[in-house]
Amino acid sequence: MADPRRPARQGMLQGVLATLIAEGLALPVGLITATILTRWLGPESYGHFTVTATTLAITEWLLIAILARAVVQFVAEAADWHAVAATAFRVYVGTGLAIGLLFWLLAGPFAAALNDPQLASYLRLFAIQIPLFAAGAASRSILAGQARFRQQAAAVAAGWCARAVFVAGFVIMGWGIRGAILGSIFGTAAGTAISVVLVGGAVWGPARFPARKLLHLAVPTFAAMLSARLLDQIGIWVLQAVGDQQAEVGFYGAAMNVLMITGVVAAAVAPVLISGLTAARHSNDEPAVHRLSTGAIRFGLALFPFAAIVAGSAGEIVALLFGPEFAPAAPLVALLIFAAIARANMAVVSALLIGLGRAWTAALIALPLPLLAAVVHARVVPRSGAAGAATVTLAFGILGAVLSMVAVVAVGASETPVRTVFRSAALSAVVYAAAVLVPAPGMAVVAKGAVLTLVALGGFVIAGELTREEFDGIRAAVLSRQGG
């Protein structure tokens, strides 16, 4: 008999689709917001905002890195999830308040280290957002642990839309960088309120679950996620510190919008994987563990042709979104989109290792990479500027993904999907060539991207990469969402 204290688990594939769609809103919403910001702020002011926003982003990711995957796993395991939820919410919010205060205190020294003292006031204003984000992140992790993926997706989607509306509105009203920051704060608060309501009163109940158990698992997951996240950000920090043109920071910042794909895929797939693998391991269902692990790796590899479409259309995309003033960002987009997909693969495989009880393996792979990347950036960026920063980011993204996949294969959870590698590489070459050879200025690039996306999907089907079982599962998930 099912335990009445545990909610019914929503399907794995439905969960991935729901959260992928919701997190996927970050791409159009983020790009629309970036389009407005680049046109209203210009390269130099947008460069200031990008440095500020990326610094906040990695600070917020500290909260996710510290607790999110541990919360998902313990909620998924618990017979009575209410105690875990109450403890997790309190630990999250307390940590958010502490990090927000530290962020405010260190704003001045950090801005001075980047040779840009005016960043300090922007960073201090952004500190208000951190505890608000913490409360929302706690609630969404609880929903993922319960396998309530549709509710989690609804909260994510509402938050992204609210943030875009407030940011765009305040900037268009002429409030400049501070308006963009205030818009982000208001949007985060709206998304958090919805997340807390969806979880319900459990977050306010007695915190009977020991916090030390959360923190014990949190240490390796924090190390793995933080180290991987730093790989995305080090390039722009080094460019800001040693570069001689603020506009170049703005171009790199505009190109960095494609790195949102990393967060989208990780946020959509990682909680579902951890929740599903935890349930499968507790049921001693080894075939399910192997199937989930192999499928996740194949999913990550299958993303590369879509990166190739963006890379081949980079000039047209930049012209459409940011205007001719940002034309130098096009070659950076072509490099960073592949870096984003490589990092997405690393994030998915790291979630696999955590779900398999190998959190320290994921941590030990990720820990050295940011330090090594910083050393290489420091040598390359002074000579090669933004192009050098993008190249180094790509190289270390690929290195991290390969090492993570080798680890999963080594522990016996999956075999190496050699055929998927070759199919993905071949399709990537085909769609990249088509994107380069067929010009599509203006809005035509959207149609070109849609056609080439269908070509890539069709190529996977013809090559036999999408099995009948997987196709039937996707169809069932889509029909279920239409019916619900």
- Residue-range domain boundaries for the chain: 12-483
CA–CA distance, 217 with 337 (Å, rounded to integer): 32
Q: What is the DSSP letter of 258?
A: G
pLDDT for 13 beyond 70: no
Confidence of residue 9 (pLDDT cuts 50, 70, 90): very low
pLDDT top residue among 308 and 33: 308
Lowest-pLDDT choice from 18-22, 72-76, 251-255, 365-369 = 18-22
Buried b (16+ CB within 10 A) or exposed e, 243-275: beebbbbbbbbbbbbbbbbbbbbbbbbbbbbbb
pLDDT for 143 beyond 70: yes
pLDDT for 20 beyond 50: yes
Q: What is the pLDDT of residue 279?
A: 67
Confidence of residue 451 (pLDDT cuts 50, 70, 90): very high
CA–CA distance, 310 with 186 (Å, rounded to integer): 32
CA–CA distance, 149 with 36 (Å, rounded to integer): 31
Lowest-pLDDT choice from 48-57, 99-108, 363-372 = 48-57
pLDDT for 223 beyond 90: no
pLDDT for 476 beyond 70: no
Q: What is the pLDDT of residue 249?
A: 80
Confidence of residue 8 (pLDDT cuts 50, 70, 90): very low
Q: What is the dihedral of CA 371, 372, 373, 379, to 10 degrees?
A: 110
Q: What is the pLDDT of residue 425?
A: 93
In percent, the amount of the chain with pLDDT more than 90 equals 18
Q: What is the pLDDT of residue 108?
A: 87
pLDDT for 474 beyond 60: no
Q: What does 402-418 look like in DSSP terms, one character per residue?
A: HHHHHHHHHTTS----H
pLDDT for 315 beyond 70: yes
3-state secondary structure labels for all residues of 92-136:
HHHHHHHHHHHHHHHHHHHHHHCCCCCHHHHHHHHCCHHHHHHHH
The stretch 231-251 carries a mean pLDDT of 77
CA–CA distance, 196 with 135 (Å, rounded to integer): 8
pLDDT top residue among 455 and 11: 455
CB 127 within 8 A of CB 100: yes
Q: What is the pLDDT of residue 311?
A: 92
Lowest-pLDDT choice from 32-46, 150-164, 172-186, 355-369 = 32-46
- Using left for φ > 0, alpha for ψ between -120 and 50, and beta otherwise, residue 115 falls in left
pLDDT for 7 beyond 50: no
Lowest-pLDDT choice from 235-239, 337-341, 396-400, 427-431 = 235-239
Lowest-pLDDT choice from 79-93, 142-156, 213-227, 297-311 = 213-227
Lowest-pLDDT choice from 74-88, 265-279, 313-327 = 265-279
Q: What is the pLDDT of residue 482?
A: 45
pLDDT for 138 beyond 50: yes
- Using left for φ > 0, alpha for ψ between -120 and 50, and beta otherwise, residue 209 falls in beta
